[in-house]
Structure 1
Amino acid sequence: MIDVIDFKQSVIDVQLTPGLPSYMQALWYDGTGDWKTAYDLIDQLTDQRSAHIHAYLHRKEGDIWNADYWYKRAGKTKSQVSLAEEWEMLVKEYCR
């Protein structure tokens, strides 16, 4: 797995690290500003990590009802921090 510093640098450099799981690729694309590709990567996945990122992406989109559904599927409570802070928290949580 990639560490947080390397992951964030890959976003800055716009150089996707090969072999990242789909949920990390979704965070990467979102970090580069490509919400649609991020969403397309995560949309059909049902594991808890993917559901958590799916929730964040719906929150970012402004679809709060759908975000709430996916937070529940992920076993998480809806984030109350800014979207940028939530992205950072997701990266830190899943870059292990």
Structure 2
Amino acid sequence: MTDLLATLSNAAPAAGLAPPLQALWWAAKGDWSKAHNIVQDEQSADAAWVHAYLHRVEGDLGNAGYWYRRAGKPAASDSLEAEWARIASALLAA
């Protein structure tokens, strides 16, 4: 995860990064719309998990709940920063 964080000063995520990780990268850069556009049409559980996180960031907890269920993950209740780190760590380890 440290490597992913180290790239946030770049203009774009590293080439070859999976879409859910690209979306997390853009979310960390503060570009919610770009992050959302990346995952909204992806069908994987990983993308659904990131999608849930993004709707939680947005404050739309009902929509976030739908995407947590699609991802097979419990709805997060910790800080957004902790959730971002947890998702990033899990996706990077996969």
What is the TM-score of this pair, normalised by structure 2?
A: 0.93
1:36 corresponds in structure 2 to 33
1:14 maps to which of 10, 14, 22: 10
Structure 1: where are the runs of 5+ without partners?
A: none
1:66 maps to which of 54, 63, 73: 63
Report the identity percentage: 37
2:21 corresponds in structure 1 to 24
- The alignment yields a C-alpha RMSD, in angstroms, of 0.9
- Name the structure, 1 or 2, with higher relative contact order (CA <8 Å, separation 6+): 1
Say if 2:52 is the partner of 1:55. Answer: yes
Runs of 4 or more, structure 1, over 6 Å off, are none
What is the TM-score of this pair, normalised by structure 1?
A: 0.91
Contact 1:14–1:32 (Cα < 8 Å) also in 2: no
Q: How many residues align?
A: 92
Structure 2: where are the runs of 5+ without partners?
A: none
